[in-house]
Structure 1
Amino acid sequence: MNFIHGNTRRLLMVAGLVLAVGHTPAAAQDAGQTAFRMAVAESALHQDEITAFYRSNGYSAIWVGDAPEHVARRAALINALSSAHLHGLPTGAYVVEGLLALMKNARTPRELGAVEAALSLAFVRYARDVQSGVLHPSEIDDGLVRPVAVRPASEHLSAMLADDDGAYVAQLAPRSSQYRALMKQKLVLQELIRHGGWGPTVPDGKYERGASGAGVLKLRDRLVAMGFMKPTASPVYDDAMVAAVQAFQRAHGLEPDGVAGQGTVAEINRSPADRLKSVIVALERERWLPADRGERHVLVNQADFSAKIVDHGRVTFQTRAVIGKNTHDRRSPEFSDQMEHMVINPSWHVPRSIITKEYLPKLRANPNAVRHLEITDRRGRRVDRGAVDFNQFSANSFPFAMRQPPGQSNALGLVKFMFPNKYNIYLHDTPQKSLFAREVRAFSHGCIRLAQPFEFAYALLARQEEDPKAFFHRILNTGKETKVDLDQPVPVHLIYRTAYIGPKGDVQYRRDVYGRDAKIWDALQKAGVVLPDVQG
């Protein structure tokens, strides 16, 4: 509100002239109302939703007037627009100075109508930006298939018209604890940048226990500046530094071996400005998510290579995950859906794209290739490989399906978790357990592989089975493909977050393995988002 206090009361009260028409002759009053309405309609000419709203309510003013509610709404809006940078929004988009000038200079009903329309236009844009995001995800990357709920302008305007104290404006931003914590981290980073950041970077190299020299000193000083170790005069890579490096590695998704190798040094040398970009992108991403995530939901953070079950805001189960390989046709998409069932002892019905791109060339060279897969016709009957000339088929004309029966070596492992979607993405077990030991785990065709799929199943079944482990293994031991419905579907959110706040309030950063956040940041910059207090 300091921004408002710096202006005169007349600045906020000037629109009260509209209500003064009641003290003029009827003819003049009617003329004034007509001029006001025409100005509103003309000023919002190309904004059909806004003009329709005003037509439907007889051009009742939201902002222009000298009643307490008009003053409160104007103050709340101008305060929100002038504070938009706190949310990482493009502050220049709301032309606050221009709005203030319009309000200050408005005298006639026509000018006041222009003020009314201008404030509504700015309000609707701000409301959508802060609630649903500045960008349209699908326009940024084809893996961002998440639809974003955008409230109609009429709903925002109606809510504001019914609001007597301007509180609605303050309720527009996401209410999640993650969003609030990210906003705090944004302020922390901005303050850090203003005071010079984390100091000199660390020279390239490999640093480990017992090492010394100038590089070790710079590593020590940077870890101290980052808050991962207490100040010390020791010039040696000692136990304290090992512990500090491990803490840094855990906070950045690196293998916590206590050795500052090439990957760890690269992350240590990332600037506060780079981290600030990640936080601003994370705020935008948070605005894209559904406001209601579900009291119980599954959260897969692709950048963290993890899958979690969250109950009432608390992580109750977590496991490592493998995501899609970093190629155009394999990257895991981002969207939300409802997990409806699991399949124990699943068959793998090979996706058409994999059949034609990977297996058809092998079958052309050798009809006995990939013998672990059954080839079936349209009726599901098994095809005799020896009776088929696979060279006659192209990717478009190949008439068969392929299936891998249940078993230990099945590509889906022994259980899969289904939330039916047009992208054919689901969570599943895998026989390739060694991949979970890797630091970067992007190897699949797009589906999410789980390191602890059985335990994940027990956690899901715990709400509907007295002994979920025994229930699961009783079915597993039959070796038969069995569908198990979840009594209560569980929302699943496939996200990608390179900056997020951990359960203990600790900030966590991850590498941009798909390069998606870099694209989002570029798009935010083009939309007018800037790094505050960052030169160059």
Structure 2
Amino acid sequence: MKNTFIPFVFSFYCLLLLGLTQNIKASNEAYTITYQRIPAFPPATFDSELIAPFFKKYPKFNSFKPEVIKLYKKNEYQYLWYDSRGINEFASLLHDKVNNLDQEGLHIRVPYQEEIRDIFQDLEKREKSNVEVELLMSSLYFFYANKVFKGLDVYKTKELGWYLPRKKQSYGNRLDSLLQDPSLINEPDKELLGQYYQLKEALKDYRNMEKHGGWSAIEFPKKTKSLKPGDTATAILKIRNRLFISGDLKTDSKNNLYDKELLAGVLKYKERNGYAADSLLLLKHIKNMNVPVEERIKTIMLNMERCRWISPSITKNKQYIVVNIPSFTLTYFKDGKPALISRVVVGKSMNKTAVFSGQMSQVVFSPYWNVPSSILRKEILPAIAKNPYYLAKNDMEWVGNRVRQRPGEQNALGKVKFVFPNSHIIYMHDTPSKKLFELEQRAFSHGCIRVARPRDLAIKVLEDDPNWPIEKIDAAMNRGVEKAYNLKTKIPVYIGYFTSWVDREGQVNFYDDIYGHDVKLAELLFTD
């Protein structure tokens, strides 16, 4: 008997090769056959040998060559930036993003900007797949990702004194997601610290202030030491307007009287600019208000750049400590919220506190102070030469060829220190010099960090340890006998340098560039 199955399979297979499906509809013993087109061809590919000539023609993108090669190897040299209609949606979105890099706080020139612009103006290049266009778009993507998400390379940041660990990123994997859903490029990215996006909003606000003329310079009244509530002066009109423009006042009454409304604005301004919360307006405050809006914009951009260097994963730790040097502030975060905020004293300009991270592993109660060799050589030995009783007077003693200060009221480390081993030999500690915490500018140490609330910090650090009730902590701090305790769980410590920061209330704060780090970074970012 003739086998009819094989011809049937063969016919059906032929239909599949033609990309056809058959839908048979019955109607009054007649059949209507309709066909639906199914994509039958694999995505277009290009010759891998064309990559090397491309980078010879476009050498400014050469640093991205390894990433481009890796990208296309993974995708078997398929076109990524074209679909059936030509250049895809993500290519257009990327082009738009690159044309607006200033919104990301970047002041840079885009390589081959004219050539890339021509792609989107040339109908033929947009509609027909082109290897050069394909590789230009991939290179442009890596350029964009490098500038927006990575920032300056690690070697340059270390030259700037930044030793916080840099994040590792895979921009190729991110591209896979963006090609699937191009709208993701407009969403906050998990690779950037949340603070970056808050500063980005602040940048938008300050650029809007700039667009409307910024603020006028204020002339402080001659022969006047201060302005206080109840005073009247022409300068108060400009101060009021200045605070209205920057959002510290809701309205501008155009009144030259220093009234309660103005006082509220002054206190808000002082709070977010690192000043003592009092009612007096001094010349230094007016000088600060006179900083042009253009300079404030640059400061925000500099700190957006610093945000690129930090992994957002740090905020996922159950507990961690952040010290911001310019604001002279320590914040201990627990379960995502500030559990303790303390003023700190940091290193003076000749003994800068380093920007780095460590793991707090030990609390030392009633500590000895082992005098660093540099302090011994520069300060202690000359003091001994002048006064042979200097060591006894300061409760110090020789231990071999080193000097240490005994635990007690005079001890430079106070009653407790917090150790996070590091090559910079920096730790946090108490101090007998409490009055320094009352000052606005608190850069007085040899590099270590003095804490205004050391007892509270010790209690917070040990509050989950049943071996350390508050009474035992107090006793250990005041016993006068050194006792070191190793923490059961190490606590990450991050010492950073941010001269602009948006707080939890959404207020943008500005702080003095006490070490000149902004100046050096600006030379790299704003030099054409």
> How far apart, CA to CA, are the structure 2 residues paired with 1:432 and 1:292?
36
For residues 68 and 157 of structure 1, the distance between their equivalents in structure 2, rounded to whole angstroms, comes to 24
Change (3 A) 1:184 1:107: closer
Structure 2 counterpart of 1:164: 180
Indicate the residue corresponding to 2:396 in structure 1: 373
Quote the residue 1:440 is aligned against. 441
Q: What is the TM-score of this pair, normalised by structure 2?
A: 0.80
Q: What corresponds to 1:121 in structure 2?
A: 139
* Conservation of the 8 A alpha-carbon contact between 1:413 and 1:429: yes
**Which one of the candidate residues 23, 43, 47 is aligned to 1:33?**
47
> Equivalents in 2 of 1:257, 1:58: separation in Å?
63
Distance 1:62 1:250, change over 3 A: farther
Structure 2 distance, partners of 1:481, 1:411, is: 14
Q: Does 1:57 align with 2:74?
A: yes
2:234 counterpart residue number: 214
Instruction: State the partner residue of 1:351.
Output: 372
Deviation, 1:188, is 0.5
Please identify, of 91-100 and 413-422, the stretch whose mean Cα deviation from structure 2 is larger.
91-100
Cα distance change on mapping 1:50 and 1:225 into 2, 3 Å: closer
Output the CA distance in 1 between the equivalents of 2:106 and 2:335: 29
Counterpart AA for 2:326: A
Q: State the Cα distance separating 1:228 from its structure 2 match.
A: 2.8
Whether 2:283 is the aligned partner of 1:262: answer yes
In 1: Cα distance, 2:309 partner to 2:420 partner? 20
> CA distance change for structure 1 residues 467 and 51 in 2, over 3 Å: closer, same or farther?
closer
| Aligned partner letter, 1:277 | K
The answer on whether the counterparts of 2:220 and 2:283 sit within 8 Å (CA) in structure 1 is no
**Once the two structures are superposed, what CA deviation does each residue of 1:299-354 show, in whole Å capped at 9, x if it has no partner?**
11111111111234322210111011122xx0111112221221111111112222
Let me know the Cα RMSD of the aligned residues.
Answer: 3.2
Structure 1 unmatched runs, 5+? 1-19, 24-28, 378-399, 529-536
What CA distance in whole angstroms lies between the structure 2 residues aligned with 1:362 and 1:448?
A: 24
> For 2:82, what is the secondary structure of its paired residue?
coil
Gaps of 5+ in 2: 1-38
Partners of 1:472 and 1:414 in 2: CA distance: 10
Indicate which of 304, 311, 329 corresponds to 1:306. Answer: 329
Q: Is the 8 A contact 2:64 2:143 kept in 1?
A: no
Distance 1:485 1:70 in 2: 60
The alignment's TM-score, normalised by the length of structure 1, stands at 0.79
Find out whether 1:248 has 2:264 as its counterpart: no
Aligned length: 474
1:83/1:61 Cα in 2 relative to 1: closer, same or farther (>3 Å)?
farther
The answer to whether the 8 Å contact 2:329/2:343 transfers is yes
Q: Which residue of 1 aligns with 2:310?
A: 289
Give matches, 1:326-345, under 5 Å.
326-327=349-350, 330-345=351-366
Distance 1:68 1:306 in 2: 56
Query: What's the offset of the Cα at 1:37?
Result: 4.7
Task: For 1:90 and 1:143, locate their aligned partners in 2 and report how far apart those are by CA, in whole Å.
Answer: 22
Please point out which of 315, 334, 343 is paired with 1:320: 343
Paired position in structure 1 for 2:473: 472
1:59-88 per-position Cα deviation (integer Å, ceiling 9, x unaligned):
524634325997244234323322322111
Q: Please list, as runs of the form range in 1=range in 2, the aligned pairs for 1:20-169 lying within 5 A after superposition.
A: 33=47, 36-37=50-51, 39=53, 42=56, 47=64, 49-50=66-67, 52-53=69-70, 56-57=73-74, 60-61=77-78, 63-66=80-83, 71-102=88-119, 112-134=130-152, 136=154, 138=156, 142-151=160-169, 155-161=170-176, 163-166=179-182, 169=185
After superposition, the Cα gap between the structure-2 partners of 1:412 and 1:477, relative to the gap in structure 1 and judged at 3 Å, is closer
Match of 1:225 in 2: 245
* Contact preservation (8 Å) 1:322, 1:435: yes
